[in-house]
Amino acid sequence: MSDNEIKGSVAPLTDLRVLAVEQFGAGPFGSRQLSDLGATVIKIEDPNVGGDIGRYVPPFQVGEDSLFFETFNAGKRSISIDLRNEAGRAVFEDLAAEVDAVTCNLRGDLPKKLGLTYDALRARNPRIVCCSLSGFGSSGPRAAEPAYDYILQALSGWMSLTGDPDGPPTKSGLSLVDFCGGYALALSLLAAVWRARRDGVGGDCDLSLFDVSVALLTYVGTWSATEGFEPERRGESAHPSIVPFQAFQTSDGWLTVACAKEKFWQRLCEAMGLTSLMDDPRFSGFAERNTNRDDLVRLLSERFSEQGTDDWVDTLTAAGVPVGRVNNVEQALSDPQIVARGGVVGYQHPEFGEVRQPASPLRISGHEAPSIPAPRRGGDTENLLAELCGYDAERIASAASAGAFGESPAEMPT
């Protein structure tokens, strides 16, 4: 079946409904993946603190919205509910009876306290999936501690691996623990919902950002756990064992080369006019090049410094060597490959005008992620309660007067 035949089909997750008790980055990023694939994601925002703290992150922030918030919440819907209020809890349980899953990214001890677990909700919905993403999970000595991406990059060993050998431990330039945790949340939730639909019984997903970050040590973690390997930081973002596989400075910038196969090493030598290195016993294989990396990197660095980045990229690309210039963010967003694949999308926003942001990488034939602004806090309250729970205006007003949506009815959308 061609893409043209698929176009017009329903979104992959159009029949998935999720309540998201979420804030800041990790949880909202995870549920954004579901929303981009067509799921109905309903943000449950606490009216007592002004909703998701992401609404107020500078520098591009106006009122209860920010470009940070837009990044993680475009395409979702919002209802403000006070989960500690009896009337608010009743509204939440009515919603939980009509959805597939509840997600949260609160401290590890809070899901149980707030009744966001399967045991707390199974009576209303036996097939519900309750997915918690916290810093340390719901068990262990640190379960009740808060955690943020930077802390976890430190704890998991990432910072010890990152940066120049003579510099301080360094975090990644992005909040990759949060984002990888968000992907883990989305994947776990989908697997659990699949099982619930098959078996008729839901359950809990207990995800820890610390677990995620340690799991992402991957082969370095395996080397360390199995053989006591002690990783060391290397200059120019070099790979721990494959050479050359790192950044090199040219006469006018930087590029990165990755010779992960023997054929790439041979092509590199030919393209750079360094064919004598191919016969040098110091560089005859992966192990030899790793053992003699200092000598090899010095020789390559001298050669790279003789020409500009564009010249080297053109030369090595033509030779079939994996290579890429070191772009800044603006250059990355305008790269011809990104432009050709529609990698930046936009939509109109009442405060910010046109909001442009990186497109979803989840490409499925016949589906494009919707380009819809993030919701106003509580902006979908009336419609959602009518659509999902059958509330009429009188019942909504009664819940509001009882404090379900905040301290006063003024919290209700107008």
Alpha-carbon distance of 321 to 312, in angstroms, equals 11
Alpha-carbon distance of 397 to 379, in angstroms, equals 15
CB 193 within 8 A of CB 187: no
Alpha-carbon distance of 379 to 52, in angstroms, equals 13
Alpha-carbon distance of 306 to 297, in angstroms, equals 15
Query: Which one-letter DSSP state was computed for residue 37?
Result: T
Q: Could you identify the residue written with the tokens 């192990």? A: 287
239 is catalytic: yes
Paired tokens of 208: 């820890």
Residue 353 dihedral angles phi and psi, to the nearest 5°: 70, -135
Paired tokens of 78: 């919002």
Alpha-carbon distance of 36 to 376, in angstroms, equals 18
- If one counts every other C-beta atom within 10 angstroms of the C-beta of residue 258, the result is 16
Given the residues 89, 239, 303, 395, select the one marked as catalytic: 239
Residues annotated as catalytic are: 239
